[in-house]
Amino acid sequence: MLIFYYFINYDKIIWVIIMKSILVTGGMGYIGSHTVVELIEKNYDVIIVDDLSNSSIEVLNRINKITGKTPKFYELNCCNYDAFKKVFMENKIDGVIHFAGFKAVGEGEKLPLKYYDNNLISFINLLKLMDEFKTNNLVFSSSATVYGQPDTNPIKEDFPFRVCNTYGRTKLMIEDIIRDYAKANKWFNAAILRYFNPIGAHPSGLIGEDPNGIPNNLAPYISQVAVGKLEKLGIFGNDYDTTDGTGVRDYIHVCDLAYGHVKVFDKLFTNSGLVTYNLGTGKGNSVFDVLHAFEKACGFKIPYEIKPRRAGDVAIYYASPEKAYKELGFKTKYDILDMAKDSWNWQKKNPNGYKK
């Protein structure tokens, strides 16, 4: 974002352009990298912090190819307070988007202490530094997992919290920290963004989802089956009370999601205080809907097998995006076929992800 100021020097008006600077923690990851591209394209100056534990240094080159710019990058873990402080000492930061954190639900159940240690300490370090250096604007990457199993759909921001896994509890704990901190510091502006199921990739095919090991999420799993890395897709349950028996979720294109993160700064820079939004399409698609969209994008059938339901899975889960639309003007533009096409475009151009 460019802010224009002017002052008069006798008979001349001199314009000064000030570019807002945004720190993106975890900015080399899947959602982070797409958000960095969106920020740059909206004329923000971007600084990235990432420890590359679940990302690749190659992302910087890809961001440059898309935008023509290379953000300033610090390779560090946000749990390292002294190293993290250096970022704030060396830069004037106007806002922060916090993506950094472990995110695999299954791993969190096996290694809860690892998740509490990393996700909470990294965020507390960030908030301490924002407090010390008077950085007033925060966007926190939360998750729809804080809602657990809702009684009804669509899911609204005021629904009760029913977290049922370690990963979701770390998100909710951080939300609570933000709420307490914002209540005590009226100058502080924060947006808690709860998004649903991000899929897709940048239309260029230069950046996309590149999970470590076997994917936990549906879209990269289908993509890797389609490209021949995995044998077939496992569909967990086909006996739900839905149109085709498979689970229904709110899938949102990662570029729409990135746009939402950037759009919310328009709200924060008006001294909004604390705001909370769902980011989703408001529409549910079944597993078969996603699979058939991929088959259409690829041009061939993708093998699958039906497996037993997973414990804790719900039949239908989708967002109410009305509040984000009303207060931010946020509206998604990509449909499920667009998401499948862009996912496939990324995977076929990068069968091994960012690895050569």
Question: What mean pLDDT is reported for the chain?
Answer: 94
Has residue 238 got a pLDDT over 80?
A: yes
Question: What CA–CA distance (Å, rounded) separates 278 from 344?
Answer: 26
Task: Identify whether the C-beta of residue 139 lies closer than 8 Å to the C-beta of residue 191.
Answer: yes
d(CA 174, CA 166): 12
How much of the chain, in percent, has pLDDT values that exceed 70? 95
pTM of the entire predicted model: 0.94
Q: Looking at the chain, which runs of residues are DSSP E strands?
A: 2-9, 12-19, 21-25, 45-50, 72-75, 95-98, 137-143, 189-195, 197-199, 233-236, 248-249, 251-253, 274-279, 285-286, 304-307, 316-317
Rg value, the chain, Cα: 21
User: Could you check whether the bond before residue 351 is cis, i.e. omega within 30 degrees of 0?
Assistant: no
Residue 167 annotated to the active site: yes
pLDDT at 14: 45
> Which whole number is the average pLDDT over 16-23?
77
Least trusted range by pLDDT, from 7-16, 161-170, 274-283: 7-16
Which residue ranges make up each domain of the chain?
Answer: 20-349
- Out of 30, 167, 317, 318, the active site residue is 167
Q: At 323, list the tokens.
A: 């509040």
Residue 320, C-beta contacts closer than 8 angstroms, at least 6 positions apart: 154, 155, 156, 157, 278, 280, 282
CA 70 and chain centroid, separation: 20
pLDDT in tens, 57-104: 999 999 999 999 999 999 999 999 999 999 999 999 999 999 999 988
- What pLDDT does residue 16 have? 44
List all residues 6 or more positions away from 342 whose beta carbon is below 8 Å from its beta carbon.
200, 201, 202, 203, 205, 208, 253, 255, 334
Assign domain 20-349 to its CATH superfamily. Answer: NAD(P)-binding Rossmann-like Domain (3.40.50.720)
Query: Which residues make beta-bridge pairs with 18?
Result: 3
> Per-residue pLDDT averaged across 265-270, rounded?
95
